[in-house]
Amino acid sequence: MSFFRKAKNDGNDGYAGYYDAPAVTPVQPSGSSVGDIPEKTPGTTLNLGGNNMELKVIYPLAFGDVSEIADHLLSGRTVFLNLERTDREVSRRVMDFVSGVAYCIDGNIRRVAASTYIVSPKSVDVSETGEEAAPEDPDFT
């Protein structure tokens, strides 16, 4: 029997019967859809920012200090960030990180001096009075 006739054979490749049919189990609907929001677990506190507004002044010296800044912002506190004593490259990394945190919490970053920023959560409105705006810093614009 030639190769082509063998390939054209009845389709029996000798593997039939070696595989079991996959088991199909019916799935019961769970009552929730993809867009449902899970319930809060006991012990979770939701801070609405009432009368306990707090301002934290932070002078980061190393990149490791960003976790403290993030913790304050995630807790709903406003951070006054002074980078005057921080190395230029570390300042850039700190601002990149803090910008990401502010974006995640829908917060705001406002420059108040050459190396000084106010980072606030969404619930805090920072307004500016006076005619002078913050000085331009080409590294952080």
Q: State whether the Cα torsion 126-131-137-141 is positive or negative.
A: positive
Query: How far is residue 69's CA from residue 126's CA, in Å, rounded to a whole number?
Result: 18
Q: Is 102 helix (H, G, I), strand (E, B) or coil?
A: helix
**pLDDT value of residue 21:** 64
Nearest to 78 by CA among 106, 112, 55: 55
- pTM for the model: 0.53
CATH superfamily of 51-124: SepF-like protein (3.30.110.150)
The two tokens of residue 72 are: 């304050």
The two tokens of residue 25 are: 């189990």
Helix (H) or strand (E) run with residue 108 in it: strand 108-113
User: What amino acid is encoded at 24 in this protein?
Assistant: V
Q: Please identify every stretch of the chain with a pLDDT value under 70, giving residue numbers as ranges.
A: 1-25, 27-52, 127, 130-141
**pLDDT value of residue 18:** 61
What does the DSSP 8-state code read for residue 39? P
